[in-house]
Chain A
Amino acid sequence: MEKNKSLVARLNSVNEYEQEAIPANKLKGWRSFLGTYAGEHTAGTEFVIGPLFVAHGASAIDLVTGLILGNILAVLSWAFLTAKIAVKTRVTLYYLLEKIAGKRFTLIYNLVNAGLFCFLAGSMIAVAATAVGIPFDMAMPQLTDVYPNNLGWVLTVFAVGTITTIIAMFGFDQVSKFAMVAAPWMIMVFIAAALAVLPRLGVTDAGSFWSVAESTIWTGVPLEGQSKFGFWHILFFAWFCNMAMHIGMADLSLLRYAKKWQYGFSSATGVFLGHFIAWIASGILYSLFLIESEGSLTFAPGPIAYSAVGVAGAICVVVAGWTTANPTLYRAGLAIQSINPRWKTWKVTLFVGLFTTIAACFPALVMMLLEFVALYGLILMPVGAVIFIDVYLLEKMGLTSNYAQVSGKRLNSAVAITWLVTLAFCLLLNLMVGVEIFFLGLPGWFVAVLVYVIASKIMQRK
């Protein structure tokens, strides 16, 4: 009972100022954003994404230039799109969406979001399981695996999933504090692990790094069965891997606390530590593994980090996976709970945790992480385009912004049509023209803008 009370209190504190603009005395300084972004974007996913670039045959020059430019575009998106709207409106994405699209649409959006959160959390539980399984000599999943291939894997995933779910049910605050503490240490372990294995790859001084990088680490040759990644793949992936957060506007909830819109540039700490240094470091580790294992298809971040820097590396994989999975699971629970607020939070989280853990048993979730992350951003992107147009353009065109709130509608059809048409357009572009998922976000955004403007004109005239 006491625990339930404390959980309700914690939930209340999470929901602070959700239905109103942030008061001026609650705004935060830039240091807070630097730390938050650095912590949030050095996570368990980094142990998977860096190696997958190696598996997809990225060349060294494509990787470095693609990551630098893609990350710059991501930071600019955070600053000029998300932060500007966050400072102008000072409300969460969900509250703003409710005013624009209506309660019914927000509910659907929440459910889709929850499903995506579950899969993301599931992949991180799987990553942590690869490190937890080391002492038990567990057979690790292969790059080509879709289904669980042994009982030990399933049992380990269930053990990690159970612990993660229980903690998500009762300890969100402690986990988020622990994640903040772990972030600088994780960055150090990433860098240290890469540095420590460089001599084994033949790098003996800083001058010889680039030639080894080109000839041995990022050779430009994909592994068997993997598609080839070039400069544009890397650039668009780096730009859009957090599309849900910047162009999709999910980070309105965070940046609404910023005193100035320029604080959006603090996202640079996250992308250049997590999505540059950590991806390069984990790529180096995986490349060494491939050489020493003579091209083994085993894909397990835990043993790779353990081989590089021992127990500290294995702990880093567990902590990185767990600190990403835990809040994600918690957010998924809250999103599902929005269907019926009378449902007990712990029961919803338990259900979500069970679903997520079952999903985590399928190694495909980890092996297809690049595609999943791209899909995640793509699905939520049209909502960001709708918010952008609603905030900046609709009133200038003589239309009503925040239409659902003004008209009292529970569902703004213009938003629903925009979402469906944009995703249908992206799907057709993928299936008919063969455009890969990583590139769909950009044309999709312009289609969303166009459809929302036309649909709003038609709907509001009615």
Chain B
Amino acid sequence: MKKLLIKLLSFIGLGLNIVPAMLVFSAEMTPDTCKQLMLAGTILWFVTAPSWMNKGQEDASQE
């Protein structure tokens, strides 16, 4: 459950890096808000992803 939650947070972080840019493109968000959300998403991704991602790689390599 904890692992799932961390993965969810990681993907939210990744989403925060792309969705705001889409909203800027469709003129529904200002570039400044986009920049702040992308920074937040970057921090969220790098705080959460290392805990499950490399483990996933090792598992895949042992298939």
Contact = CB atoms under 8 A, between A and B. Distances in A.
Nearest to B41: A312
B17 A310 contact: no
B57 A192 contact: no
A92 B53 CA distance: 27
B27 interface: yes
Given A181-B53, A195-B21, A312 B63 contact: no
B19 to A, nearest CB: 9
B25 A196 contact: yes
Contact of B63 (A29, A180, A192, A195): A29
Contact of A312 (B32, B38, B53): B38
B24 A180 contact: no
Contact of A195 (B25, B35, B36, B54): B25
Interface in A404-459: none
B14 A184 contact: yes
Nearest to B21: A192
B46 A196 contact: no
B25 A310 contact: no
A8 B61 CA distance: 23
Contacts of A188: 14, 17-18
Nearest to B40: A312
A185 B25 contact: no
Interface string B21-57: 1101101000110111011011001100110011001
Nearest to A39: B57
Contact of B50 (A181, A195, A311, A315): A181
A196 B21 contact: yes
A312 B35 contact: yes
A189 interface: yes
Contacts of B22: 195
B39 A312 contact: yes
Contacts of A195: 18, 21-22, 24-25
A32 interface: yes
A270 to B, nearest CB: 16
Query: Interface on chain B toward A: helix, strand, loop, or mixed SS?
Result: helix
A28 interface: yes
Contact of A31 (B24, B42, B46, B63): B63
Contact of A32 (B34, B54, B63): B63
A199 B34 contact: no
A312 B24 contact: no
A178 B50 CA distance: 7
A16 B6 CA distance: 33
B25 A180 contact: no
B5 to A, nearest CB: 18
A189 B17 contact: yes
Nearest to A178: B50
Interface string A172-187: 0000011011101100
A198 B21 CA distance: 10
A195 B38 CA distance: 13
A185 B63 contact: no
Interface string A193-206: 10110110001100
B56 to A, nearest CB: 9
A221 interface: no
A185 B24 contact: no
A29 B39 CA distance: 34
Given A31-B63, A177-B50, 16 more contacts: A28-B60, A29-B63, A181-B45, A181-B49, A188-B14, A188-B18, A192-B17, A192-B20, A195-B22, A195-B24, A196-B25, A196-B31, A196-B34, A203-B25, A309-B38, A311-B39
Interface of B: 13-14, 17-18, 20-22, 24-25, 27, 31-32, 34-36, 38-39, 41-42, 45-46, 49-50, 53-54, 57, 60-63
13 contacts: A28-B61, A29-B60, A29-B61, A32-B60, A178-B50, A181-B49, A185-B17, A185-B42, A185-B45, A185-B49, A192-B34, A310-B39, A311-B42
Q: Rank and list the top 3 A-B pairs by shortest CB-CB distance, nearest first.
A: A310-B35, A29-B63, A192-B21
